[in-house]
Structure 1
Amino acid sequence: MLMAASDLHVSHPENRRIVESVQADQTSDWLILAGDVADDLSEFEWAIRTLAAKFYRVIWVPGNHELWCTAREPLALPGELRYRQLVDICHRYGVVTPEDEYPVYTAAGGQSFVIAPLFVLYDYSFRHPADFTPQQSLERARRAGVVCADEYFLKTYPYPDIQSWCDERVRFTEARLSAVSRDCPLILVNHFPMVQGLTKQLQPQEFSIWCGTRRVEHWLTRFPVCLVVYGHLHLQGSSLIDGIPHVEVSLGYPRDRQERQPFHVVTALDSLLT
């Protein structure tokens, strides 16, 4: 069975207990982790080690929280160096990352699917209104009292800013996707939604500028995509866009679940594969 979860945020004790309670068939079940597993490296490694021991295969993409440099880790490496640390931890436990060969999952009916874990950031292009510049959108958000913690904790070294890092990741990822055979349906996994319209439920709306990039939306028609798995919004659910299911699989913070019952710890995906 193919399952997915994101935004586990295991620094919260309740979430850590939930992760410990997850049950799976270690001989056959696959797990997609769509980012924001933890804020610091020790908690991240604990979660990766714990889940890798429960599942046959685990596939991970980074969220924004994993990339943070905070006072909790005074010696934390910034930007790309931090990302490489996360990749190294995943490799230690056999977990697939965006730097690895894309794995092929075979569903119960015999159909095979290529799973592409993506590391694509945001560039403030999910803007309202669309004709605002990034600077205008950031100022509008600040005046509304909305500032994502990434502005303080997400370092972009060696890139001068988040847009430049996003640009590099888009180019790198598009080249990799272009090399994948068109004969096998493609499951895209990204922490951030890949279509701006999926952020319409966000409150406040000003936060959407930290939620993705419009530069990847055309991938959904350029490549043989059959399913998109994402997180970040803490709004579990599925949306059908131009015939493609987009599934948000966030566990989220404990306070999120007080307003959202029932919730899934992990979301089963096999029924969406066609």
Structure 2
Amino acid sequence: MRLFALSDIHVDYPDNARWVDALSSEDYRDDTLILAGDLTEDRHLLAWCLQRFVAKFRQVLFVPGNHDLWVRRDPDIDCSLRKFDQVLTIAADAGAWMQPRFHRDTLVVPLLGWYDYSFGSPCDDLRVMWMDYRACRWPDDYGPERVTEHFLQMNPDGLPHAASRVVTFSHFLPRIDLIPFFVPRAMRRLDPVLGSSGIERQLRALGSDLHVYGHSHINRRVVIDGVVYVNNAFGYPQEGMIAARALLALDNELR
């Protein structure tokens, strides 16, 4: 029984979808997969993707990312909160879990989130270029800070069961220092929309030993104050130089 992590698979791209479809249907039947968000904005593709992974793994745990809540191509959905409710139903119907589950004696805990500008204030250029500002729709009184709080409040405030180890995962970054020093200054304008320090507070309160995150498309492993942070993004087809484009086994981190 192995534990794998993957995020940002973006099966809207045919090459990425083909990779999912071609993944062995035999090699992972006893294993657990963490999917840390950004599968697709398309509800039908989301169902297909989750169903394919569930057919290949013993259990699949999932949290949606920002792309999964886009509604720009959903004329029948006027709110990303309603899209989230549909994502919940799609995941449950596919057999994927969005609740804590055991992997052997390790408890794996999904953490919902968004970004609340705790990593910085957005500049005017970011407000123009960042697709979420146009592709997501929220109630009139919901800014990013309230969206983040809405999702953080849905996360567990304690462990439902005693566990030898705890693995948490989120799509969004729990701390801004997970972005490595070599990222160009021009790209740091994205910092405000990368995550929330509220996720960090929650994973620490849960006693997490390892946290999987996505969203940045920068694969990394780093230890900070006793917690191992891991990003294993599949990424866009053109990102082969910065994304591993493979499953990542976490078992050695848990020994």
Counterparts of residues 89-108 of structure 1 (less than 5 Å): 89-97=90-98, 100=99, 102-106=100-104
CA distance in 2, matches of 1:241, 1:264: 25
- SS of the residue aligned with 2:123? helix
> For residue 88 of structure 2, what is the aligned residue in structure 1?
87
CA distance in 2, matches of 1:254, 1:140: 25
Quickly say closer, same or farther: Cα 1:200–1:157, change in 2 above 3 A. farther
Q: Which runs of 5+ in 1 are unaligned?
A: 107-111, 128-133
Quickly say closer, same or farther: Cα 1:29–1:182, change in 2 above 3 A. closer
- Is the 2:51–2:95 contact (alpha carbons within 8 Å) kept by the matching residues of 1? no
> For residue 186 of structure 1, what is the aligned residue in structure 2?
166
> For residue 18 of structure 2, what is the aligned residue in structure 1?
17
Q: Deviations over 1:192-234 (max 9, x none)?
A: 1111101245441010111111223233443321100011111
> For residue 194 of structure 2, what is the aligned residue in structure 1?
211
- SS of the residue aligned with 1:11? coil
The answer to whether residue 4 in structure 2 is matched with residue 3 in structure 1 is yes
CA distance in 2, matches of 1:158, 1:139: 21
The answer to whether residue 142 in structure 2 is matched with residue 157 in structure 1 is no
**Deviation at 1:49?**
1.1
CA distance in 2, matches of 1:27, 1:36: 23
CA distance in 2, matches of 1:80, 1:155: 8
- Normalising by structure 1, we get a TM-score of 0.84
> For residue 253 of structure 2, what is the aligned residue in structure 1?
272
**Deviation at 1:74?**
2.2
CA distance in 1, matches of 2:125, 2:41: 27
CA distance in 2, matches of 1:196, 1:186: 22
Q: Deviations over 1:98-146 (max 9, x none)?
A: xx3x11111xxxxx1111111111111111xxxxxx3xx333645xxx6
> For residue 74 of structure 1, what is the aligned residue in structure 2?
75
Q: Which runs of 5+ in 2 are unaligned?
A: none
Quickly say closer, same or farther: Cα 1:220–1:47, change in 2 above 3 A. closer
> For residue 233 of structure 2, what is the aligned residue in structure 1?
250
CA distance in 2, matches of 1:55, 1:25: 9
Percent identical pairs in the alignment equals: 28
CA distance in 2, matches of 1:240, 1:160: 34
- SS of the residue aligned with 2:168? strand
The answer to whether residue 200 in structure 2 is matched with residue 199 in structure 1 is no
- SS of the residue aligned with 2:154? helix
- Is the 1:159–1:165 contact (alpha carbons within 8 Å) kept by the matching residues of 2? no
The answer to whether residue 138 in structure 2 is matched with residue 138 in structure 1 is no
- Normalising by structure 2, we get a TM-score of 0.90
Counterparts of residues 210-229 of structure 1 (less than 5 Å): 210-229=193-212
Deviates more, 1:192-201 or 1:81-90: 192-201
**Deviation at 1:179?**
4.5
Q: What's the RMSD between the two structures over aligned residues? A: 2.0
Quickly say closer, same or farther: Cα 1:126–1:59, change in 2 above 3 A. same
> For residue 126 of structure 1, what is the aligned residue in structure 2?
119
> For residue 237 of structure 1, what is the aligned residue in structure 2?
220
Q: Deviations over 1:214-257 (max 9, x none)?
A: 22323344332110001111111211111211010110001111
> For residue 57 of structure 1, what is the aligned residue in structure 2?
59
CA distance in 2, matches of 1:179, 1:140: 41
- Is the 1:67–1:83 contact (alpha carbons within 8 Å) kept by the matching residues of 2? yes
- Is the 1:6–1:34 contact (alpha carbons within 8 Å) kept by the matching residues of 2? yes
